[in-house]
A and B are shown apart, each in its own frame.
Chain A
């Protein structure tokens, strides 16, 4: 199975900050990568797919980049609603896997 590693595991930021979360795959996954946001007690919400395509309705302050084994999710200007846990997921094979998550906390 392809292993996904996110960094950092926890990230502190303030409203207005630019933050970046990294996701690394144990082998190349081309651009078959999605990013999800999850708030406590809620279902995950798709933000980005195919590494860089913004899902409909997601604010443009979210962006994704990367290919192969290294990917990033960037929030250009943190808003109060963005404090949550973020997961990457590859879908390059018949056994998709998620990263362990990055918790974005208020500084």
Chain B
């Protein structure tokens, strides 16, 4: 059974940094692209970033480009999201998600973690 567990969320002041982690189990992690999706309180889903299976390609939403960095360690079956220069509008629950395809990235997401909350406030 696929299991994704996010950690690292919390409370941070504007301009601060956080690093989120997502630990994976139940599938061959190194074969699948991974993504982060966020949901602000009471709002809809927003794709944040994705990374290919080999880390060779990374993708970012315009809203986070230049501030967030996605990475992964296939030996640890873990992906990360380094978030810098945080703003109040980054406040959200951040979900880790697994890609549908094992051949190439699709950006379709077939399994999700339960999310980790991030609050940016002074």
Contact = CB atoms under 8 A, between A and B. Distances in A.
B61 A87 contact: no
A43 B114 contact: yes
**Size range of the chain B interface in the assembly:** 20 to 34
Interface residues of A, number: 24
A45 B108 contact: no
A32 B59 CA distance: 18
B100 interface: yes
Contacts of A42: 114
Interface stretch (B12-20, B39-47, B66-74, B76-84): B39-47
A35 B71 CA distance: 27
Interface of B: 37, 44-47, 59, 61-62, 95, 100, 106-115
Interface of A: 1, 32, 34, 36, 38, 42-46, 49-50, 55, 87, 89, 91, 94-101
